[in-house]
Amino acid sequence: MRIVVDAMGGDHAPEVVVDGVVQATRELGIEIVLTGPQQQVQAELDKHDTDGLPIRLYHASQVIAMDEHNPSAAVKAAKDSSMVVGMELLKRREADAFFTAGHSGAALAAALLRLGRLRGIKRPALSTIFPSQTPQGTCFLLDIGANAICKPEYLVQFAMMGSVYAERVLGVSNPRVAILSNGEEEGKGNELVQETVPLLKVSGLNFIGNVEGKDIPWGVADVIVTDGFTGNVVIKLAEGVSKFLMETLKKEITANAVSKMGALLAKPAFDAVRKRLDYREYGAAPLLGVDGVVLVGHGRSDALAIKNAVRMTAQTVENGVLEAIKQGVAKFNE
């Protein structure tokens, strides 16, 4: 197994990426190809004892910034970027998968540019793993931003791809698939939801109907599909609300000595909750529908997150997600 990792992806690249990759090769026995500026990445590698570790460096002179506003244009302009070069290696089958903690929109654009869509897939989707009270502790949500404007048939394909991923990588048998709506009852929804529901019903997937925003954390479904506009609002709102709550609590707690003492005693509990909400525990989420295994991690990833993400990328390859999606599309087209 060989995985290409974008050495320049994420807020703390290349330092934490190289650190995580070194840990991953030690623990998981995976070959890694790092893409990025030779000197800069080598300098990071030199900080570690990489003797005998299967890590190779592949030079790419450019970097796509995390705050790039027009990722499509950036990707086209930066063909020698760590992201595009990484995708190129995957396209040439010099590796089995690609992982980046960089700009997710740029990863999508680079994947479309170099790998293209899987045959039969109309649109690829960005996904995320959301903390939820399912047996597996998470729910798989897509699209979270690749397609602000969607058609019903896209959402049906997202549901199929999400179902495959949940089954193969997250270990959920017969995943419960739902569509996000403004009410649980059938008939609720905007035009897109209303037109998609009948298609999901005959899709052969384990479709359980509409779910509401409040249901997402409570384990009602394993896979939730939505358009990339709504999905993006959802993940960003969840982030905003969690941060607001935790900061408000912190501010209140440190406002007086007694509650400050209380907070100190309760700190392990706070830490456990933070961990529960922590993207790092989940590592990365796949970009589904492109012709290659591509996973995208959180920009704030630290070395632990990178290591977990590399593991998850390897699992996605091992469990034949790409092949299963191809079969899923073929079955739909019959």
Q: Give yes or no for residue 73 binding a second copy (CB under 8 A).
A: no
- DSSP letter string, 14-51: THHHHHHHHHHHHHH--EEEEEE-HHHHHHHHTTS--T
Residue 36 binds a second copy (CB under 8 A): no
Q: Would you say 3 or 224 has its CB closer to a second copy? A: 224
**Contact between 126 and a second copy (CB under 8 A)?**
no
- Residue that has been written with the tokens 């996000």 in this structure: 180
β-pair partners for 56: 33
Given 31, 270, 278, 300, the residue binding a second copy (CB under 8 A): 270
Q: How many residues in the shown chain lie near a second copy by CB under 8 A?
A: 64
CB of 67 to a second copy, least distance (A): 11
Query: Of the candidates 254, 272, 276, which has an alpha carbon nearest to the alpha carbon of residue 263?
Result: 254
Residue 190 touching a second copy (CB under 8 A): yes
**What torsion, rounded to 10 degrees, do the Cα atoms 17, 18, 22, 23 define?**
-30
CB of 261 to a second copy, least distance (A): 6
Nearer to a second copy, 76 or 236 (CB): 236
Burial pattern 73-87, b for ≥16 Cβ within 10 A else e, equals: ebbeebeebbbbbbb
198 near a second copy (CB under 8 A): no
- Told to check if 135 binds a second copy by CB under 8 A, we report no
Per CB under 8 A, which region of 2-10, 33-41, 116-124, 208-216 contacts a second copy? 208-216
CB of 151 to a second copy, least distance (A): 12
Distance in Å, CB of 165 to a second copy, minimum: 22
With CA atoms as reference, report the closest residue to 18 among 307, 285, 317.
307
Rounded CA separation 153/148 (Å): 14
Q: Which residues pair with 5 in a beta bridge?
A: 34, 99
- Long-range own/partner contacts, residues 269-278 (CB < 8 A, 24 or more apart): 274/246, 276/131, 277/131, 277/242
- Residues interacting with a second copy, by CB under 8 A? 69, 131, 133, 145, 148-149, 180-183, 185, 188-191, 193, 212-218, 227-230, 232-246, 248-249, 252-253, 255-256, 258-259, 261-270, 272-273, 276-277
